[in-house]
Amino acid sequence: MKVFIIPGYGIPEFIERDQNYLTYLHVAFNRIYASAKGEKALIIPCGGPTNCAPPYEGTEAAVIGEYMQKLVDRSVMGNRCKDWLITLEDRSLSTLENLMFAKEIIDREDDGESVTIFCEATRDQRIQRVSAAVFDGSGSITVEPIDFDVSVNRYLDEAIIDRKEQVEIQGSLWALESPDRLAKHHELFERKFALLRSLESSGMSHVDAVAEWYRQASGMIAELMPDHPGLIRQ
């Protein structure tokens, strides 16, 4: 059975109005269709409770899964997607956890002939490196980047994007080395979303709140994990 992993990128208030998300999911859906129409497929939307808007409900995986199911259920699809199974990975708070928890689902199904991982284009190298470590050579892994983002984040200086991605890779590979590090990694991202919610509840925009997170993250890392290579460095 072919497996497709779709990491989430936040929880939109109205996904039907979010052009970035719609582009991402439409392209992913059509690529899945081209590869697995008329076949069995396991689709794993990924992402946990990251909502930064009150009442902070829902998960990224649920939003993606519901929308993908709507695409599957359209009359135009006929029976060509009837053997697709959409299974939510709704616990993760980070890229690393997206992949780890998705692998748990795949291992439980014990039937993955190939795994395709979609991602936002600037995170291609991160997904390549971290998925190689998480899956550790098991099965055929393909990463398919989708350049869907037209927000300000997509047009940051390339050196800034590269530095951010390199420290995310370092942090993920570091965390994989022990259960204690994985727990600290999770706690770091719990603190991240607590900070974002606090800042946004005071009136700060999400973009500015994320920028503030980057400014504060190194201090949180130093407190939680003094030997951490650094998820984000100033």
3-state helix, strand, coil in the chain (%, to 5): 55, 15, 30
Would you state the pLDDT for residue 112?
Answer: 62
Q: Please give the model's pTM, rounded to 2 decimal places.
A: 0.94
Domain tally, the chain: 2
In terms of domains, do 168 and 141 share one?
A: no
Would you state the pLDDT for residue 109?
Answer: 84
In terms of domains, do 89 and 11 share one?
A: yes
Ranges assigned E (strand) in 15-61? 41-46
CATH code of the domain covering residue 74:
3.40.50.620
In terms of domains, do 193 and 138 share one?
A: no
Would you state the pLDDT for residue 141?
Answer: 94
Does any domain span residue 230? no
Q: Which of 152, 176, 197 is the last residue of a domain?
A: 152
In terms of domains, do 137 and 57 share one?
A: yes
Q: Which of 152, 168, 184 is the last residue of a domain?
A: 152
55 upstream amide cis, omega within 30 of 0: yes
In terms of domains, do 63 and 178 share one?
A: no
CB 61 within 8 A of CB 45: yes
- pLDDT (tens digit per residue) in 5-42: 999 999 998 999 999 999 999 999 999 999 999 999 99
In terms of domains, do 134 and 214 share one?
A: no
CA distance linking residue 40 with residue 109, whole number of Å: 12
Would you state the pLDDT for residue 215?
Answer: 86
In terms of domains, do 103 and 143 share one?
A: yes
Q: Which domain holds residue 202?
A: 157-224
Does any domain span residue 231? no
In terms of domains, do 173 and 201 share one?
A: yes
- Strand 84-86, strand 41-46: pairing: parallel
The angle, 0 to 180 degrees and rounded to 10, between the axes of the packed helices 19-36 and 60-73 is: 60
CA distance linking residue 220 with residue 214, whole number of Å: 10
Would you state the pLDDT for residue 138?
Answer: 72
In terms of domains, do 19 and 72 share one?
A: yes
Would you state the pLDDT for residue 137?
Answer: 73
Q: Which of 119, 152, 185 is the last residue of a domain?
A: 152
According to DSSP H, which parts of 93-205 are helical? 95-109, 124-135, 158-175, 179-201
Cα first-last separation, the chain: 44
- Strand 140-146, strand 114-120: pairing: parallel
In terms of domains, do 30 and 145 share one?
A: yes
Does any domain span residue 229? no
In terms of domains, do 41 and 72 share one?
A: yes
- Which regions of the chain are under pLDDT 50? 231-234
